[in-house]
């Protein structure tokens, strides 16, 4: 029964998130019937199902108050900025799309295809990473039995789940052809992921010491061979 309740809460949270980010503003702008909106809605639902799988498989997440990022003032500021920034990224893109709906030119078709590819890669990468890291996919905290995961996708990059979020949001901006949202997304990613990765890596160095430092020397943070 407890698992059912957890699943129900997560599903309600997921539906609420999608409604706020996509469906309600799209309805207000009169674009809810566009195929791009339907595709993005379904894609976001699939993307965030990874959290549902994790809770069903491994139990509830750590309490939010125990998230190491929330315990830092810089993390609190970054979190608030990311919250409003991501709302802006999504709502601005929807507004721009409503004002400049494509007539289906070749360039727009290529952008649509690129966006679909980015989003599908984001979903696949997220699912692979979450299943690889298992119960350690959680808020920023160290568990008593915490171990360093360095196999699978984690052999190449240290934070593939964050990479999947970036690809998803870039796919969103590309699909809706919103240069303003692209610019805002870049700032949000620098602030949010920059702060979170810094805190997370400090936490892991504190826990694993030279083992994690050696792992860092042989991997990139987000994108293989680049960064």
Instruction: Supply the pLDDT for residue 140.
Output: 87
pLDDT tens across 69-91, in order? 888 899 999 999 999 999 999 99
Instruction: Report how far residue 116's alpha carbon sits from residue 33's, in angstroms, rounded to the nearest whole number.
Output: 18
- Does residue 3 surpass a pLDDT of 80? no
* Domain ranges (residues) in the chain: 2-217
Instruction: Report how far residue 79's alpha carbon sits from residue 70's, in angstroms, rounded to the nearest whole number.
Output: 8
- Does residue 211 surpass a pLDDT of 90? yes
pLDDT band (50, 70, 90) for residue 220 = very high
* 31-45, 59-73, 180-194: segment of lowest average pLDDT: 59-73
pLDDT tens across 169-198, in order? 999 999 999 999 999 999 999 999 999 999
Q: Is 225 left (phi over 0), alpha (psi -120 to 50) or beta?
A: left
DSSP 136-177: G-SSS---TT-----SGGGGTBS-HHHHHHHHHHHHHHHHTT
Instruction: Supply the pLDDT for residue 145.
Output: 87
Q: Could you tell me what percent of the chain has a pLDDT over 70?
A: 96
Any bridge partners for residue 158, and if so which? none
Q: How far is CA 225 from CA 90, 169, 218, in A?
A: 29, 21, 10
Q: pTM of the full predicted structure? A: 0.92
Instruction: Report how far residue 204's alpha carbon sits from residue 209's, in angstroms, rounded to the nearest whole number.
Output: 7
- Mean pLDDT for the chain? 90
Q: What DSSP character marks residue 26?
A: H
For the record, the structure tokens of 60 come out as 């509830």
For the record, the structure tokens of 155 come out as 């052999």
The closest alpha carbon to 34, from 108, 114, 118, belongs to 108
Q: Quick one: CATH architecture of 2-217?
A: Up-down Bundle (1.20)
Instruction: Report how far residue 184's alpha carbon sits from residue 174's, in angstroms, rounded to the nearest whole number.
Output: 13
**Average pLDDT, integer, range 129-143:** 89
**Residues in CB range of 214: below 8 A, 6 or more apart:** none
Secondary structure class of 92 (helix, strand, coil): helix
Query: In this structure, are residues 48 and 17 in contact, taking their beta carbons and an 8 Å threshold?
Result: yes
């Amino acid at each position: 029964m407890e698992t059912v309740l957890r699943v129900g809460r997560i599903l309600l949270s997921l539906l609420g998130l999608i409604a706020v980010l996509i469906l309600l503003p799209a309805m207000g702008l009169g674009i809810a019937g566009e195929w791009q909106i339907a595709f993005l809605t379904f894609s976001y639902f699939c993307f965030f199902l990874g959290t549902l799988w994790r809770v069903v498989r491994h139990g509830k997440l750590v309490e939010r108050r125990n998230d190491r990022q929330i315990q830092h003032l810089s993390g609190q500021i970054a979190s608030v900025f990311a919250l409003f920034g991501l709302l802006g990224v999504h709502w601005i893109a929807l507004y721009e799309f409503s004002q400049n709906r494509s007539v289906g030119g070749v360039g727009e078709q290529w952008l649509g295809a690129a966006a679909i590819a980015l989003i599908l890669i984001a979903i696949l990468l997220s699912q692979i990473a979450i299943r690889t890291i298992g119960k350690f996919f959680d808020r920023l905290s160290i568990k008593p039995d915490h171990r360093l995961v360095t196999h699978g996708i984690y052999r190449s990059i240290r934070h593939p789940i964050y990479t999947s979020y970036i690809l998803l949001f870039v796919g969103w901006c590309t699909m809706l052809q919103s240069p303003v949202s692209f610019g805002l997304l870049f700032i949000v990613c620098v602030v949010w992921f920059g702060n979170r990765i810094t805190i997370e890596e400090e936490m892991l160095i504190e826990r694993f010491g030279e083992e994690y430092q050696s792992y860092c020397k042989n991997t990139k943070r987000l994108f293989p061979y680049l960064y």
